[in-house]
Structures are given as structure tokens and as C-alpha cells.
Amino acid sequence: MPMWAQLNLQDAVTPLMEQMVMFHDHTMMILTMITIIVSYIMINMFMMKATNRFLLDAQTLESIWTILPGVILIFIAMPSLHLLYTMDEVNKPVLTVKAIGHQWYWSYEYSDFRQIEFDSYMKSTQDLQMNEYRLLEVDNRMVLPMKSEIRLIVTAADVLHSWTVPSIGIKIDATPGRLNQGSFELLRPGVFYGQCSEICGANHSFMPIVMESANLKHFLKWLNSL
């Protein structure tokens, strides 16, 4: 989860988020180089009093500064398109979970094993334990097995919502009457936090998402306890 004064992205939990972090670093490196070069040229132009009279109509220079931005955009677009197509792939999921957005809580359905359904409400401040976070903890966590391909289907029962967990690189709009899907694979155990990212009413800020990644044995034990 994010900490105070954190500037970088959250630690990646899925291969998808790892690729997003790499693309972010790749793009920021290109933008930093462009900023430095353009700033250097602008400072030189302001500081230098000499004028090059042959620079008023330089076809070669104009061709260079027209082609070069196009080449730079290609270097940004290629990994971006690869990442977009990777986000849409769903390769033989082991488990399918359906998340339904309500005003103002989430409900989950595990229909692969048996009809398991539960609601997930934010915990009030007086119900929090010492190791739980205010405005982020819920009464029923979403538990998933690690190192397994998970398919997530998202919809809404009333208005627009958005199911978002930054550390796994997933943000799926929950639209009434429509099923949107995404997939991910959790690489390590832990508890990961998210929130609704679509303004959905007065209590929009009070419908958090808590996902617990566990090994298969703990996951099956949790299923049997429901």
C-alpha cells in the first residue's frame, strides 16, 4: 500500500504490474532526455547573442526535427501497445471471481466451486483492530490463491463504479448491465488494498477493496469455512 510522501508506484504484485512499472520507467527516461536537450537549446538561444544567417531556411534541420519526434513516439508506442494487448489476454484461468459494485460496498461471487457469495463493507473506526488501517479495512476480505491465473468479472448493480487495486495493476469499470473482465496472477502472499475509482455518490470514498493472497492450502481452508 502507499506510504506518506511516496513518489514512486507501489511494489508490483503481478507480472502485469511489473511490465507497467518498466514501461513507466522507459517513458520517463525518454521524457527526461527530451526535457534536458530542449532546456539546453533554449538556454543557449537566450544567452547567445550571435545569429546564424544560414539557419533561416535549413531544409535538412527541419527534416530532422520533424522525423526525430516520430521516431521517439514509435519507441513509446511499441511497448505501450504490447502492454495494452497483454492486459486483454485471459489465458486458461484457474478461478473466476465476480465483483459487483453497490452503493456503497462490494459483493463477490465464487461460482467455480459452489455458490459462494458475500458482501464486503468497510469497517467502522470503533471495530478496527490494532493492525488494521482506517478507511481501508473491510469485514470480509477477498481471498485468492497465489501463482494462479485469476479471471475477474466486474459489474455494478446501480451506478458506475470502478474496481481498482494499484499494486496488481488492475482498474476495471463496473457498469450496470455490462460485464467487464480482466486477469492477473499474484506472485507473492500478502494483503493488498484498493478503492472504488469512479465517483459513485456521497459515500464513494468509503467502499474499499481488500484482497488477500494466500497459498492454495490456506485458500481451500478459507473456502471450507464459508
Encode pLDDT of 8-39 as tens digits: 888 888 888 898 999 999 999 999 999 999 99
Strand partners, 170: 165
Encode pLDDT of 135-176 as tens digits: 889 988 999 999 888 999 999 998 999 999 999 988 999 999
pLDDT of residue 199: 92
Which of 6, 9, 7, 33 lies closest to 21 in space, CA to CA? 9
Backbone angles phi, psi at 57, to 5 degrees: -140, 75
Q: Which residues, other chains included, contact 139 with Cβ-Cβ below 8 Å and sequence gap of 6+? A: 120, 121, 122, 123, 127
Ranges assigned E (strand) in 88-226: 95-102, 105-110, 116-120, 142-145, 149-156, 161-165, 170-174, 180-185, 190-196, 208-214
Q: Which residues, other chains included, contact 4 with Cβ-Cβ below 8 Å and sequence gap of 6+? A: none
